[in-house]
Amino acid sequence: MLKDVQGERDIRKVPLKHVGIKNLHWPIIVKDKIKGIQHTVAEVTMAVDLPHDLRGTHMSRFVECLQDLGAVSPVALESILDTLKDKLVAEKSMLEIEFPYFITKAAPVSKQEAFLDLHCRYRAEKAANFELYVCVEVPIHTLCPCSKEISRYGAHNQRAVAKVEIRAEELVWIEELAEMAEAGASSPIYPLLKRPDEKFVTEHAYENPRFVEDVVREIALSLEHDDRIKWYKVTVESIESIHNHSAFACVEKSAESNSLYADKGEYL
């Protein structure tokens, strides 16, 4: 019998906030509003807390637990979290998956369809209660209101990314969050545009100039009016086309989140 070094007593009296694995890549199946399911590939983080008197956790059990994950759903995620708490003798558990999600996007005039990729993240946590945070990064188009106003013709515009993070108690589809993000922009962006589509997008954006400040406010209003959403944070970052840096704006619902973890994502 090989010795269990991780299971030794620890006398340093330092409890750990989390201990686990990250940068694990794994094929997953996620629910798709239109097609039922979608195959994709995730980057996975899994963690538990560790009491002050235990030396270490058993890292291989995280991967064992992940193998029980079927199609990703709130129920499936909570089940993994319960198993983690049980197998690792922990009071809190966490599972985070980041993955590209593909929506079929039709061009505005020609109606030709192709895949548009959204970067998504689910973070599920469980101590006494289960909580699920959903984050979607939606690529959008912004056209500068100032540049349009002061120039005789033209206006600088650029690709931007709207990052929408929510906590909800009922299902909110990735597709719904993407629609809110696009509605707040100067224009959605598309994987495939023929000339009549390009004309449409160019003119539509010119008619709808938006600062990053405007876009976060428009998205925040949509989220605020949705009763399913208990908390949100919206950040828009534009890859300024006249600068070599980005502009960004952020709005967060004032009510405190109940996350077990003080920080729910990067600063931005």
CB of 90 to its own copies, least distance (A): 13
C-beta of 14 vs 128, nearer to its own copies: 14
Reading phi first (left if > 0) and then psi (alpha if -120 to 50, else beta), residue 113 is in beta
The SS3 call for residue 65 is helix
CB 37 within 8 Å of CB 71: yes
Q: Which residues pair with 165 in a beta bridge?
A: 135, 233
> Which is nearer to its own copies, 39 or 228 (by Cβ)?
39
Phi, psi of 87 (to 5 degrees): -70, -25
Q: How far is the CB of 220 from its own copies (least distance, A)?
A: 5
User: What is the closest distance, in whole angstroms, from the C-beta atom of residue 91 to its own copies in the complex?
Assistant: 15
Closer to its own copies by Cβ: residue 122 or 190 = 190
Smallest distance, its own copies to C-beta of residue 227, A: 18
Contacts 24+ apart (CB under 8 A), 144-151: 144/209, 144/211, 145/209, 145/210, 145/211, 145/214, 146/211, 147/209, 147/242, 148/206, 148/209, 149/209
Q: Which is nearer to its own copies, 74 or 191 (CB)?
A: 191
CB of 2 to its own copies, least distance (A): 4
Which of residues 91 and 170 has its CB atom nearest to its own copies in the complex? 91
